[in-house]
């Protein structure tokens, strides 16, 4: 298994960049300690170059990196930093010796948090273009080292608030990308998992964790009692299993055959069921069609200058990942004038949402609801007065 060295940039007398209530050395330490804890939970060997506010000069930092697991290609180095210079968004630099696979994977996961990705790239030393620009990559020559810049602390856009509010989401995104890259099963902190060992049964596992066989079967979507060594079982979870249509795995089934029968792709099927591998067990229950949520309605939002998925999600009390899912977005990049579906909770729907009927105009709707046309336009971010039957309007 690959080993991870997490490097909290700067520290001690070297505070790094600072501004808008953010000090780089403090935020990189928080991010790095979070990552170390998560890698520990996932069973991945990981070490920190610093776990407190100490000064490390470049030579000491490199020596520290190499002291844990050596200088082999089985070591991944994550050098965490916060950017400055007036830009906005996430950047990641990977070594001249490495492919872009991991950097690209991390960038993709970061995008799902709502942070825009500027680029993933290689940077060369001006005095010798055969060498990497950053010493942490250049002087750890056999490792897979990456310099990760989570955002600009002096951004005039949304990076400042995102760095303060979402740094943990960014750290988790990197953990997820690295975990999947090295082929280790990934799971979130909200679930407690147990790995099935030789001689285990549902009864013995239930007894060990103070639960019941029926509960284990329910939260793991199991229809039978068969287990396989190495199988991961949820022991507890923060939410009840998804409602919807399920398929019970039969002998000879594969993810591809099940997906094809039910109008899904393999990736969609894995996503619906939080699967991290292609292994199936006979009797396993797979979600193939998630039941629609009765608690939300959908309205349309038109993207304005300065908008980001993070800002829109916050405005409508939802998440970036939910917006990306319901709009089938592959990235967090938006364009002015783009139409987005946004969910509106049922607590506000009955009182504050109006469904356009035949013959309605903004004027007639405004008059009927004791408001103004300009208020309706502002609340619904409308660029035209044209309405369509069935359209949802915030009142």
The dotted CATH code for 3-181 is 3.40.630.40
* Orientation of helix 159-181 relative to helix 24-41, angle to 10°: 30
Would you state the CATH architecture of domain 296-394? Roll (3.10)
Report pLDDT for 347.
43
pLDDT digits (tens, 9 = 90+) for 267-316: 878 877 777 777 877 667 777 765 444 445 778 888 888 788 777 877 77
Instruction: Please name the residue that has the structure tokens 């930092």.
Output: 61
Domain boundary assignment for the chain: 3-181, 187-240, 242-291, 296-394
Does the CA dihedral 25-100-35-170 come out positive or negative?
positive
Rounded distance, CA 177 to CA 78, Å?
Answer: 12
The pLDDT score that the predictor gives to residue 241 is 44
Read off the tokens for 325.
Answer: 């899912």
Residues 143-156 have pLDDT tens digits of: 999 999 999 999 99
Query: Phi first, then psi: what are they for 349, rounded to 5°?
Result: -60, -50
Low-confidence residues in the chain, pLDDT < 50:
238-242, 291-295, 346-351
> What local confidence, expressed as pLDDT, does residue 345 receive?
59
- Which two structure tokens, joined as six digits, stand for 249? 């795995």
Q: Does 296-394 match 3-181 at the fold level?
A: no
pLDDT for the residue numbered 229: 78
Q: Are strands 192-195 and 232-236 parallel, antiparallel or unpaired?
A: antiparallel
Judge contact between 354 and 392, C-beta under 8 A: yes
DSSP string, 207-222: HHTT--HHHHHHHTTB
For the record, the structure tokens of 73 come out as 């290609």
The two most distant CA atoms of the chain are separated, in Å, by 74
- How far apart are the C-alpha atoms of 98 and 186, rounded to whole Å? 24
Place of tokens 């002087």: 139
What's the CATH architecture for 187-240?
A: Roll (3.10)
**pLDDT the model gives residue 6:** 98
pLDDT at 255: 86
Say what the pLDDT of residue 64 is: 97
1 DSSP assignment: -
| CATH number for domain 242-291, candidates 3.40.50.300, 2.60.120.10, 3.10.350.10, 3.60.15.10 | 3.10.350.10
Q: What local confidence, expressed as pLDDT, does residue 209 receive?
A: 67
Whole-structure pTM over 0.75, yes or no? no
Give me the pLDDT at residue 99, please.
97
**Cβ atoms within 10 A of the Cβ of 325, count?**
13
Q: What is the CA radius of gyration of the chain?
A: 25
For the chain, what is the HEC assignment?
Answer: CCEEEEEECCECCECCCEECCEEHHHHHHHHHHHHHHHHHHCCCCEEECCCCCCCCCHHHHHHHHHHHHCCCCCEEEEEEEEECCCCCCEEEEECCCCCCHHHHHHHHHHHCCCCCEEEEECCEECCEEEEECCHHHHCCCCCEEEEEEEEECCCCCCHHHHHHHHHHHHHHHHHHHHHHHCCCCCCCCCCEEEECCCCCCHHHHHHHCCCCHHHHHHHCCECCCCCCCCCEEEEECCCCCCCEEEEECCCCCCHHHHHHHCCCCHHHHHHHCCCCCCCCCCCEEEEEEECCCCCEEEEEEECCCCCCHHHHHHHCCCCHHHHHHHCCCCCCCCCCCCEEEEEEEHHHHHHHEEECCCCCCHHHHHHHCCCCHHHHHHHCCCCCCCCCCCCEEEC
Residue 321 tokens read as 């990942």
């Amino acid at each position: 298994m690959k080993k991870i060295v997490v490097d909290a940039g700067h520290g001690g007398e070297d505070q790094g960049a600072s501004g808008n209530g953010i000090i780089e050395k403090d935020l990189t330490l928080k991010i790095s300690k979070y990552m170390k804890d998560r890698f520990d939970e996932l069973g991945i060997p990981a070490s920190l170059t610093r776990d407190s506010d100490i000064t490390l000069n470049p030579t000491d930092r490199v020596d520290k990196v190499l002291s844990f697991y050596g200088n082999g290609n089985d070591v991944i180095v994550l050098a965490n930093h916060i950017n400055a210079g007036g830009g906005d968004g996430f950047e990641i630099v990977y070594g001249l010796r490495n492919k872009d696979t991991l950097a690209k994977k991390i960038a993709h996961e970061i995008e799902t948090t709502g942070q825009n990705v500027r680029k993933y790239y290689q940077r060369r030393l001006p005095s010798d273009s055969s060498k990497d620009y950053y010493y942490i990559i250049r002087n750890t020559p056999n490792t897979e080292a990456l310099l990760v810049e989570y955002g600009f602390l002096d951004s005039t856009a949304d990076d400042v608030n995102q760095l303060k509010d979402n740094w943990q989401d960014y750290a988790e995104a990197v953990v997820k990308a690295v975990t999947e890259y090295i082929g280790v099963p990934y799971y979130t902190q909200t679930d407690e998992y147990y790995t099935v060992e030789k001689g285990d049964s549902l009864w013995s596992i239930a007894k060990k964790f103070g639960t019941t066989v029926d509960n284990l079967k329910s939260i793991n979507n199991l229809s039978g009692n068969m287990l396989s060594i190495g199988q991961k079982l949820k022991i507890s979870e923060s939410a009840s299993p998804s409602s919807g249509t399920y398929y019970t795995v039969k002998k000879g089934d594969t993810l591809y055959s099940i997906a094809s029968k039910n109008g899904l792709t393999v990736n969609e099927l894995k996503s619906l069921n939080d699967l991290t591998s292609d292994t199936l067990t006979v009797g396993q229950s797979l979600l193939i069609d998630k039941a629609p949520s009765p608690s939300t309605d959908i309205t349309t939002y038109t993207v304005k200058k300065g908008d980001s998925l993070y800002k829109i999600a916050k405005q409508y009390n939802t998440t970036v990942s939910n917006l990306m899912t319901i709009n089938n977005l592959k990235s967090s990049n938006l364009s002015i004038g783009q139409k987005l579906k946004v969910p509106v909770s049922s607590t506000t729907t009955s009182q504050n949402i109006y469904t356009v009927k035949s013959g309605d105009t903004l004027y007639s709707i405004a008059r009927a609801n004791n408001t103004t046309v300009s208020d309706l336009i502002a609340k619904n971010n409308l660029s035209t007065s044209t309405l369509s039957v069935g359209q949802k309007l915030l009142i």
